[in-house]
Amino acid sequence: MFSQSTNKRRTDKRRVFVAVVVGCAVLGAVMMTGTVAATDDDPPAVPAAYYGTVTIDGDTASANVNISAAVNGTVIESTETDENGTFGGPDAEDEKLFVSAADVRSATSQNATPEDHDVEFLVDGDEADEKIEWESGVNEAVNLTVGDTSTGTGGGGGGGGAATGAGPSDESDYPVVLTDRNEIAERIDVPEDAVPTRAEIDIYEAETTSTFTDGALLEEIEFAEPVDGEVGVTELEEPVNETDSPPGTAIKTLQFSVPEDATEQSATVQVRLSSESLSAIDAESDEFVLSRFEDGSWEPLETTVVEETDDKVVIEAETPGFSQFAVSAASGPEAVASVSQASLAAGETIELDGTESTDADGDIVSYDWTVDDQSLTGETATTTLDEPGEYTVELTVTNEEGIVDTTDTTVSVEDSGVEIGFLGPAGIVGLILLGIGAIIGIALLRRRGSI
């Protein structure tokens, strides 16, 4: 009888143990599953849809013109215009260009916020003027324009010398080339202390492009708006100002002459430099900078090399207006970026170091860092990367002349391990209950003498 009672109590304890362990396990699993389900229930972003009209060089586009939607230079989807020069339509059954949030992340970064990026449009491969900020679920009309649609005259910013004397009465007498200083002074309004060495003048009627002879330092001016009248360029012996100098080593100085109503409009300027003048200063073509003298100081313009042969180099820059210009050779700053560690765990702090950056012609005045959509400043900086992945660390340095250089390096962020935090409060409670069940089970087994 005693033995049967003892066995019964042991059987009851065993049943209690099993019930407690199973109950805790089931409750914990249910709560953890509920946590994951709540995370997965977030609805996906709805793709953005675009349709509209297309205008090319001021005219409605013809049929079968290719229209593409792109993000960060990556084409997402393409369609074609119909006979009315339109693509897609507003109704549900109409064809459209669709761009999803996944498309944006694929073209930028998996960690990117799609709403922070623009959708660009290409018309037969040419970038349209219009860009649209991506937004989930929009059905938006976009009227695209490419090519030359400018009319009238006008512009903004700057000033330049004007023709002063009476010019030829017949267009056939142009272009006029002057090399005598006195003759140049009679025709061109140059600075008082300037020493002109050559001038070339041509006349234009409602044209946006001015070209010059092979002997001129200036190759071409592309105005933002059409110009009427004389356009010329005077080469000066040296820059004329008392307070400032162009960056680096000055090579050539120019004074532009444009019609009065064109002095304050923007334009793209091309300047040619002979191989002889380049070898004299021992400079590389990518060191050339076109600067504009304005408000008492030289402002470097963003300059690019558009042509390079054995005989010459042609550089190009966009100017907001006309005044005195200088071509100089400035090596500019050299950005050097390093990081404290090329591989780190998520959540760790990384140090960014730009102290090895140099500038042979002056001082670096700013250091700008970009890391995973973060913007940081300073010769050194620190940041924390919380998500695993490959990250590009970009450094842009700017010197006192406004010349910039950019470099980048890559860091790899690895998963630091399973984080309890991702389970949420319910998941954590589930783990605790599983632990309690295990402890109770061990205690009961010890009382049985099984452990």
pTM for the model stands at: 0.45
Q: Within this chain, do residues 323 and 342 fall inside the same structural domain, yes or no?
A: no
- Given the structure tokens 């900078």, which residue do they identify? 289
Q: Within this chain, do residues 190 and 234 fall inside the same structural domain, yes or no?
A: yes
Domain boundary among 273, 305, 329: 329
Q: Within this chain, do residues 16 and 111 fall inside the same structural domain, yes or no?
A: no
In CATH, what number is assigned to the domain containing residue 397? 2.60.40.10
Contact (CB, 8 A) for 248 and 239: no
pLDDT per residue over 158-198, tens digit each? 345 545 444 554 566 788 899 888 888 888 887 777 888 89
Q: What single-letter amino acid sits at 166?
A: A
Q: Within this chain, do residues 240 and 337 fall inside the same structural domain, yes or no?
A: no
The structure tokens listed for 67 are 């229209």
- Number of independent structural domains in the chain: 4
| E strands, 62-147, in order | 66-71, 74-80, 86-87, 97-99, 118-123, 126-133, 139-141, 144-146
pLDDT of res. 111: 86
In CATH, what number is assigned to the domain containing residue 127? 2.60.40.1120
pLDDT of res. 399: 83
Q: Within this chain, do residues 363 and 270 fall inside the same structural domain, yes or no?
A: no
**Is 166 within the bounds of a domain?**
no
pLDDT of res. 248: 78
| Distance in angstroms (rounded) separating the CA atoms of residues 277 and 314 | 13
Q: What is the tally of helices (H) and strands (E) in the chain?
A: 5, 30
Q: Within this chain, do residues 267 and 313 fall inside the same structural domain, yes or no?
A: yes
| Distance in angstroms (rounded) separating the CA atoms of residues 45 and 112 | 14
pLDDT of res. 15: 55
**Is 365 within the bounds of a domain?**
yes
**Is 209 within the bounds of a domain?**
yes
pLDDT of res. 20: 43
In CATH, what number is assigned to the domain containing residue 325? 2.60.220
Q: Within this chain, do residues 11 and 55 fall inside the same structural domain, yes or no?
A: no
Domain boundary among 296, 329, 362: 329
Q: Within this chain, do residues 252 and 133 fall inside the same structural domain, yes or no?
A: no
Q: Within this chain, do residues 17 and 30 fall inside the same structural domain, yes or no?
A: yes
- Given the structure tokens 């761009």, which residue do they identify? 99
pLDDT of res. 38: 36
Burial class (CB in 10 A: 0-12, 13-18, 19+), 271: buried
Residue 376, H or E segment: strand 374-377
Contact (CB, 8 A) for 311 and 347: no
Q: Within this chain, do residues 139 and 96 fall inside the same structural domain, yes or no?
A: yes
Measuring CA to CA, how many Å separate 30 from each of 18, 27, 417, 427, 438?
18, 5, 24, 9, 17
- DSSP letters, 377-407, are ESSEEEEE--S-EEEEEEEEEEETTS-EEEE
Domain boundary among 301, 329, 357: 329
**Is 159 within the bounds of a domain?**
no
Q: How many CB atoms lie within 10 A of CB 381?
A: 20
pLDDT of res. 370: 95
Q: Within this chain, do residues 97 and 215 fall inside the same structural domain, yes or no?
A: no
**Is 183 within the bounds of a domain?**
yes
Q: By C-alpha distance, which of 241, 163, 170, 146 is closest to 199?
A: 163
Q: Within this chain, do residues 254 and 216 fall inside the same structural domain, yes or no?
A: yes
**Is 157 within the bounds of a domain?**
no
- Residue ranges of the chain with pLDDT lower than 50? 1-11, 13-14, 16-22, 24-27, 29-42, 150-159, 162, 164-166, 169, 420-422
- DSSP letters, 218-280, are EEEEEEEEEEEEEEEEEEESS---SS---SSEEEEEEEEE--GGGTTS-EEEEEEEEHHHHHH
**Is 151 within the bounds of a domain?**
no
pLDDT of res. 78: 94
Residue 362: which domain range? Answer: 333-414
- Given the structure tokens 């099993």, which residue do they identify? 18
pLDDT of res. 249: 78
**Is 156 within the bounds of a domain?**
no
Contact (CB, 8 A) for 248 and 329: yes
